[in-house]
Amino acid sequence: MAKTVYQRNQKVWVESVGAWAIIEKIVPIWAKGFDEPVRVTYDVGLGREFLAHELKPEDRMDPQEGGVLSNWRVLRARNKWQQESDCLHHPFPGTYPVVVTDPNDWGGWRTPGAEYDRDPRKIEFQAKLIAAAPRLHALSREIMTLVGDHPEDAPPALLALAQKAAAIERELHETPAAGTVEG
């Protein structure tokens, strides 16, 4: 069964035309005897309807292109607000984790000093998890591809994992409607 990949009013790149467009209408194609659409097309106002694989969302980044996500790593920053002797209970006294997402060691995630001091093991775990996110994302995409290539051969547990991964992938690429706040 087909699921929608894009939302109405979402900006997409139409590869075959080489232009940006806005999805004006989602067109499900139904077949007798099925509870869900068998195919979904998108009307972007260019004279014909397009399938999902012919479109790319505005903000989608391909991790393979230029290694966009390959630079994520945990660095140690010097703890300016406490002496090393004052924080011997920290996993790495005198430092705190900083996740950088750029080859030049900047951009990424940092934590306030007071929060790190309150629960340093939790913050250390968060830093490692964030730095591992691109690899976990690649792993989930491999699972989805494996199951997508041979859905009839996939064990039910693997099929369920692929469906969960696909739902998370859709969330990653969703464009929130104007005026909404995520929290």
**DSSP assignment string, 8-19:** TT-EEEETTTTE
Secondary structure of 163-183 in the HEC alphabet?
HHHHHHHHHHHCCCCCCCCCC
Look at residue 131 and tell me whether its pLDDT is greater than 80: yes
The C-alpha atoms of residue 11 and residue 128 are separated, in whole angstroms, by: 33
- Euclidean distance between the first and the last CA atom of the chain, given in angstroms as a whole number: 31
The whole-number pLDDT of residue 68 equals 53
Segment 118-146 shows an average pLDDT of 90
Segment 121-130 shows an average pLDDT of 91
Look at residue 160 and tell me whether its pLDDT is greater than 90: yes
11 band by pLDDT with thresholds 50, 70 and 90: confident
The whole-number pLDDT of residue 49 equals 92
Burial of 127 (0-12, 13-18, 19+ CB in 10 A): buried
* The two structure tokens encoding residue 11: 């900006």
